[in-house]
Chain A
Amino acid sequence: MATTTATIVLSSTDLLSDELALSTTATLTGAGNSTGLTGTTGLGRKKLASGHATYTLFDGDDYTADKAHKLYLKNTSIIADEYFEIIVNSEQIGRLYAGDWAFFPWMANASTNDIKIDPSDDSMILEYMLFTDE
């Protein structure tokens, strides 16, 4: 068993009249237990060549369904209007603009429950890491 932690810090001194200073730490464990996740794809980078085609980053068929997988994504672009569209199960979730990152659970609950990425421009680079509950 491994111990992997994810910590998020949200902060702002001027979004509200009171300071925003949120910090949450989660230890990544398996579905319904306290056993640390032991699988990972490692930190990877993918250059999406051309055509703005939708790219399947993770196929739901390749991972055990109904588990506590966790996914980290980052758009490495430094051009403000370049984004990756994140698509789960053919549903558009949201956009990662330049420098944005996301971290969310993934159930892989069906063969159609793929994680797909649709870049706004050519030659954009996505950074990703999947922590798997297998």
Chain B
Amino acid sequence: MATTTAAITLTSADLLTDALSLSATKTLHKAGSTVGLDQTTGMTKAYLTATTNVDIFPTLIEGSMAFAGKSSWVYICNESEDETEYVIITISGNVIGKLYGGDFLWMPWSQSEDGHGNNRHGDIELAPSVDTGMWFSWCCINEGTEYPTAV
């Protein structure tokens, strides 16, 4: 069992009249347990040169029994240094939000098994705002990986 921790610190001296200094740390566990997550896609660094949606975890079958109800965590960072460049994050075509240059997200990902035949119901997709090239990094730390059967 591995021990992986995710920590966040939110700080501001002037957002409120009182200083904001919020911290949270959590060891990443398998769903409903205290057993550490032991699988990961590793950190991907990608340079995307089109504005079309891309599936960033194509090897994970979202609706599979290895995935549904399991614990998976996703980190995505828009490494652009241009504040106007963003990426739209969607799950199953539903927009979550935009990451502008320098923004990151950390969120759980645990889709239920779905009736769609292709098991791609819960894909996490990115759509860059420009086709002139944007850098991203992302990774998934998870417990249930089921790879598609080769065709």
- A-side residues, CB < 8 A to B, are 2-16, 20, 22, 24, 26-27, 29, 31-34, 36-38, 40, 42-43, 66, 68-70, 72, 74, 80-81, 83, 86, 88-97, 99-107, 109, 113, 129, 131
Contacts and interface: CB of A to CB of B under 8 A. Distances in A.
A27 B124 CA distance: 24
Contacts of B77: 24
Contacts of B71: 95, 97
Contact of A88 (B27, B94, B100, B104): B94
B96 A105 contact: yes
Given A10-B4, A91-B92, A93-B91, A5 B100 contact: no
A12 B3 contact: yes
Q: Is the interface of A mostly helix, strand, loop or mixed?
A: strand
A71 to B, nearest CB: 8
A104 B10 CA distance: 13
B8 to A, nearest CB: 5
Given A4-B11, A103-B8, A14 B2 contact: yes
A11 to B, nearest CB: 5
Contacts of A70: 103
B98 A4 contact: no
Given A4-B20, A10-B5, A106 B10 contact: no
B3 A7 contact: no
Given A105-B99, A113-B95, A34 B83 contact: yes
A11 B96 contact: no
Range of interface residues on chain B?
35 or more
Nearest to B69: A95
Given A15-B38, A32-B100, A101 B29 contact: no
Nearest to B26: A99
B40 interface: yes
Nearest to B114: A92
A93 B141 CA distance: 15
A100 B7 CA distance: 10
Given A8-B8, A72-B10, A103-B10, 16 more contacts: A14-B2, A26-B103, A32-B100, A68-B98, A72-B22, A80-B33, A86-B108, A89-B95, A93-B96, A95-B71, A97-B29, A97-B71, A99-B26, A101-B24, A102-B108, A103-B105
Contacts of B94: 88-91
A102 B105 CA distance: 8
Given A68-B100, A80-B32, A80-B34, A107 B83 contact: no
B151 interface: no
Contacts of B11: 4-5, 7
Contacts of A107: 88, 95-98
